[in-house]
Amino acid sequence: MPNATEPRDGVGHYTSVAGINYQNYLLILHQILKPKRYFEIGTLSGGTLKLASCASISVDPRFQISSDVLGSKPACHFFQCGSDLFFSENDPSQILGGPIDLAFLDGMHLFEFLLRDFANTESKCRSNSIIAMHDTLPPDVWMTSRNPNDPRRQQSQQPGWWTGDVWKIIPALKRYRPDLRITVLDCPPTGLTLVTNLNPNDRTIVESYAEIVETFSRTDLDEQLFDDFWNEVDVTSSNNLKDYFNISSMFWL
Ligand SMILES: C[S@@+](CC[C@H](N)C(=O)[O-])C[C@H]1O[C@@H](n2cnc3c(N)ncnc32)[C@H](O)[C@@H]1O
């Protein structure tokens, strides 16, 4: 898998985000790891919620469920609200009867929202839970605007895709939480990142929140910063799932 070091060529890094589609990869995780407790922020029509067959929580301020997302789940709890409100009023580990095994964060596509979603979710996990985050490897800078109505999005090769600036979660976690094990996958269309070696008691993000947000949220469509990110990020091929991720050490049961 290329380490995405190719120079900007006007078409971005699309060829570097060409592994297993993110939903297919999440399905593989469900099938191999068999989580008992699944937590999702950002469900929309349910394309990722339907992949889970265990007890689940789904949080979204505006559900647009369009298919059978329940499947064989023994329980599925829907919270039609923003994730901040959800966490202020609920404890997902109490609802699910234990710590979250697998989480997928795909809610509001702004860095500071994902940062809060990550910290809140981690506090309800155990160390070898996995937190998956979507849109963390956008192939071009124009889809990363903080404002979804930014006209510069038209310069993207895919002007219909909006990832926002959640990609910044990777450099932010690497800087502030070097203890985490972070795997950035080349899952199309816009990347999937898995985080484990979690610490539900860690307070770094909460205590440094203002500093982290000030550092990472003030930039928008900074091409140099985005190029630096692509030059530094260590991209893992999703096709090498078993080799790289060492699934055997992740078994929970
Ligand atoms: C990209 S869609 C999710 C797609 C879905 N995970 C999938 O892959 O099929 C993003 C969703 O996040 C929801 N969302 C927006 N702001 C949110 C927030 N503050 N908390 C939770 N969800 C939010 C939107 O309503 C939208 O349904």
Ligand 1, residue 63: give the atom nearest the CA: 27
Kind of pairing between the strands at 235-236 and 181-185: parallel
Ranges of each domain in the chain: 14-250
- For the stretch 156-206, pLDDT in tens is 999 999 999 999 999 999 999 999 999 999 999 999 999 999 999 999 999
CA of 108 to the centre of ligand 1 (A): 6
From CA 127, how far away is CA 201, in angstroms rounded?
10
Is the confidence at residue 252, as pLDDT, over 60?
Answer: no
pLDDT of residue 240: 85
212 lines ligand 1 (CB under 6 A): no
Is the confidence at residue 74, as pLDDT, over 50?
Answer: yes
Structure tokens at 197: 């070696």
44 lines ligand 1 (CB under 6 A): yes
pLDDT of residue 2: 44
Q: What is the mean pLDDT of the chain?
A: 93
From CA 160, how far away is CA 154, in angstroms rounded?
8
47 lines ligand 1 (CB under 6 A): yes
138 lines ligand 1 (CB under 6 A): no
Is the confidence at residue 4, as pLDDT, over 70?
Answer: no
CA of 65 to the centre of ligand 1 (A): 12
Q: Which CATH architecture has domain 14-250?
A: 3-Layer(aba) Sandwich (3.40)
The residue contributing the CA closest to ligand 1 atom 9 is 47
58 lines ligand 1 (CB under 6 A): no
- For the stretch 20-67, pLDDT in tens is 999 999 999 999 899 999 999 999 999 999 999 999 999 999 999 999
Is the confidence at residue 253, as pLDDT, over 50?
Answer: no
Q: How confident is the model at residue 251 (pLDDT cuts 50, 70, 90)?
A: low
**Distances, alpha carbon 159 to alpha carbons 53, 139, 142, 151, in Å:** 34, 12, 8, 10
pTM of the model: 0.94
pLDDT of residue 241: 72
